[in-house]
Amino acid sequence: MEWNDKVILVTGGTGSFGKKFIDVMLKEYHPTKLIVYSRDELKQHEMRAGGFDHPSLRYFIGDVRDQQRLQRALHGVDIVIHAAALKQVPACEYNPMEAIKTNVLGSSNVIEAALDAGVKQVIALSTDKAVNPVNLYGATKLCAEKLFVQSNAYAAGSATRYSCVRYGNVVGSRGSVVPVFMKQRHNGKITITDERMTRFWISLEQGVRFVIRCAEQMMGGEVFVPKIPSMKLVDLAKAIAPHTEMEIIGIRPGEKLHEVLISDDEARMTVELPDMYVVHPVETYWSRGYDWTQRGQPLPDGFRYASNTNTQWLTIEQIRQIIEPFEESLEREGIE
């Protein structure tokens, strides 16, 4: 796919993912136009003042809850990257209707507006918390995934296609535990919910480049899952503060010991490629002309892609190398 003749809109464009995606696009892919769609004028001003002031950039104030505004913003757009979401687990638990309005109804608005505007491709960001969800955030993202996958049937007579990308914790994103640990080490104690806890791990740049690759390959209806390493939370704490006391405080409401990116039930509908897994719907009511089962290898019975049974693990030294640039940026921002 040629990106240099495309008009791209990013919902939640002032967030961690949005900014990194736009940075990579401007430096390497040079699309005709990049539209930052978000609801916070201050963040847009700060983003522009911080160097994101390219001639191809447009800043569009709007909320994914507002379908009419989305319809206006999507006029002439070729590709939508849907990154807008309420994603803080405690905030979603305390404000459940707000999470539903943004993550579920907002996703529905993106789907409807993209179809009406004739957008060719829409790719939505999801999370490992959408698999067997135990909190409202995960449940809303699972619902959003279902909406995006099945909306290909809804849009079968048009050129619009919808797919999802699902991955784990992102170092450097808002809400990451990394800055929390960096602050806590100055108090002489780091709090760990459970010493057995494991998580999938992906960098912001890896996430952005994976989304770009998936946009280039999507036919509609896929959930793309990258092959990424796991880490132990205690190893992350040791990498950040090797000589600091760790206090075990117990698992918080809505939290899992281990995360899952592909459940054993989904594995029956999943194929394996060298660098990713592709979950495809059992039945499709739209014509794609492409069969993922002919490209990838089926997974064995009982396969489950979980953070505690992963075959790839990060060592403490590897974690330290990954977080080093992020730590330097926090120091520049005066967080240390």
Catalytic annotation, residues: 129
266 contacts: CB under 8 Å, gap ≥ 6: 131, 279
- Of all helices (H) and strands (E), which one includes residue 240? helix 233-240
Token pair of 181 as six digits:
């640990």
Q: In the chain, at which residue ranges do the beta strands (DSSP E only) sit?
A: 7-11, 33-38, 57-61, 79-82, 121-127, 161-167, 169-171, 189-192, 198-203, 223-226, 230-232, 245-248, 260-262, 270-272, 276-279, 297-298, 305-306
Provide the 3-class DSSP secondary structure of residue 187.
helix
Q: Are 58 and 75 in contact (CB under 8 A)?
A: no
Read off the tokens for 303. Answer: 């396969």
Say if residues 33 and 7 touch (Cβ distance below 8 Å).
yes
Handedness of CA 86, 92, 94, 99 (dihedral sign): positive
